[in-house]
Amino acid sequence: MHEFAVCQDMLTQIESIAAEQQAAAVDMVTVRIGPLSGIEAHLLKQAFPLAAAGTVAEKAELIVEELPIKVKCQLCGAETEAKANRLICGQCGDYHTQLLSGDEMLLASVELLKEPQEAIHV
């Protein structure tokens, strides 16, 4: 389960952000994942509490936003959504496309707690 290692790397970045902002804790973490990223959202959600145990984010909620696959057609220039096993242009149907998004995993936001009641959003 490589999602655990992904969580560990993500938590290194989260802890750095929390330290930089002098936060007492992390309340919420939002990540955006494309279907071609190789990351399984449900496994990431299962791994996060285990990886976060004993860190500033141990009580944080993990929100996973799934991103669509988008391609740009090299023939007609259209930017359209596509399916994982069918990266064709949604406009003209040509298969000469360039992947624009869908293979990424982004740490979108981290909600930090400065004091037990005060939340800041980074």
Q: How much is the pLDDT for 86? A: 94
Residue pair 113/23 in contact (Cβ under 8 Å)? The answer is yes
Q: How much is the pLDDT for 119? A: 57
What are the per-10-residue average pLDDT scores of the chain (122 residues)? 92 96 96 96 96 96 97 97 95 96 96 73 64
pTM score of the predicted model: 0.83
Please enumerate in sequence order all residues whose Cβ is within 8 A of that of 86, keeping only pairs 6 or more positions apart, or say none: none
Q: How much is the pLDDT for 114? A: 86
Q: How much is the pLDDT for 63? A: 98
**Per-domain residue ranges of the chain:** 2-67+102-114
**Alpha carbons 27 and 105: distance in angstroms, whole number:** 20
Residue pair 113/25 in contact (Cβ under 8 Å)? The answer is yes
In sign, the C-alpha dihedral spanning 104, 42, 2, 7 is positive
Domain 2-67+102-114 falls in which CATH fold? hypothetical protein PF0899 fold (3.30.2320)
